Amino acid sequence: MSGGLYVYGIVGEDTGEDAGEDTGEDAAWLPGCGLAEEPLRLVGSGPVRAIAGEPPEPPRPDPASLSAHDAVVRRLAALVPALLPARFGQWLPDERTLSAWLAAHARELAEALERVAGCVQMTLRVFAGPDGVETPPPAKEPAPAAAGGPGARYLDQRRRDLEREHSLLEIAPLRDALRPLLRGERIERASAPGPLRATAYDLIAGDAVDAYSRIVAETSPRLPGWRVTASGPWPPYAFAPRAVA
């Protein structure tokens, strides 16, 4: 016994309800083992539950462990209607701590599970072109100035800045073409200098992967000054609401 629990993902209350998890036995529907060959089991008794194992020690953040973690998560995601995958390294001291965390965040986790049901994540990365020439974003009609005093104008400008920060106007034709497929999106601007400028995490239906990939392949060559890559499908790592703590 390790004295700790390593979390692989969060599932709904109906998952494996007849598999004997309340007895502490391994759930029959959980084939295979964790990244350290440890048995997997369900933890929690509320509307959301965790799939966890008890490896002998916390895994080290090396390529082999990262790959093994992802393999376990992928296997689990293929077995259940909805899974919130835990990011690598989610280690808790005991079952009581994990159960308390699940209870405290049950509503948020249940809503996130509903959102990702039947979906996968595609990851889109935007790089400056190899020649270093960037095509500026298409011009937009200027928004009317906010009415009111300095405070209202400041908040309006802040809203516009946030919209710009979390959009990808540089590749607007591609984003517009993908829009009908998106169930959710998260956009992150690169904080360090370099060719990578932004990453989009796109949540799409599991049966829309081929359509998504086709749109990227057909539209990306028409984005002068930018290079776009797409990877996936992945479990929806970017749409799990928070780290277990």
Residues 177, 144 share a domain: yes
Are residues 127 and 54 both part of a single domain?
A: no
Convert 47-76 into a string of H (helix), E (strand) and C (coil): CEEEEEECCCCCCCCCHHHHHHHHHHHHHH
pTM higher than 0.85: no
Give the domain CATH number at 174: 3.30.70
Check: CB of residue 227 under 8 Å from CB of residue 174.
no
Taking the C-alpha atoms of residue 16 and residue 214, their distance in angstroms, rounded to an integer, is 36
In a domain, 88, yes or no: yes
Q: What is the pLDDT of residues 183-198, one digit of tens each?
A: 999 999 988 888 999 9
Q: For residue 193, what pLDDT is reported? A: 85
Phi-psi region of 154 (alpha: psi -120 to 50; beta: other; left: phi over 0): alpha
Q: Do residues 78 and 170 both lie within one domain? A: no
Look at residue 21 and tell me whether its pLDDT is greater than 70. Answer: no
Segments forming the whole domain that contains residue 93: 5-116
pLDDT digits (tens, 9 = 90+) for 44-87: 988 999 999 999 999 999 999 999 999 999 999 998 999 999 99
Domain end residue (candidates: 68, 99, 116): 116
Report pLDDT for 133. Answer: 46
Computed over every residue of the chain, the mean pLDDT equals: 84
